[in-house]
Amino acid sequence: SLKDDTDRLMDTALGHIYGIDSAILELTDDNFNSEMAKLDTAFVEFVAPWCAHCKRLMPDFGRAAKVITKNNFPLTFVKVNCDGPGYHTCQSEADIYPTLK
């Protein structure tokens, strides 16, 4: 849909602005459960692009993900956009934004 395409574009733009790259696995309603089942350990960030606290967290979350990935720690950093393709997942996983689990 146009909204999903717009959300993905915004996520990509924010990723470039804040230096977030492939160190963070971005999941959606379609793949959240199946991808999480494959992971031994994950640190999940449930965010909304319009949330000021989320915007402040994104750069630090991205930097932490890069450090963990670079040092081969067995931890996967995951992001779910609660205002877009991860909306339904967030309904059961997040009470406020951002939520870290």
- Catalytic hit among 23, 44, 48, 54: 54
51 is catalytic: yes
Among the listed residues 51, 64, 68, 75, the single catalytic one is: 51
CA distances from 40 to 11, 19, 46, 65, 76 (A): 25, 26, 19, 16, 8
Q: Let me know if 82 is a catalytic residue.
A: no
Residues forming the active site: 51, 54
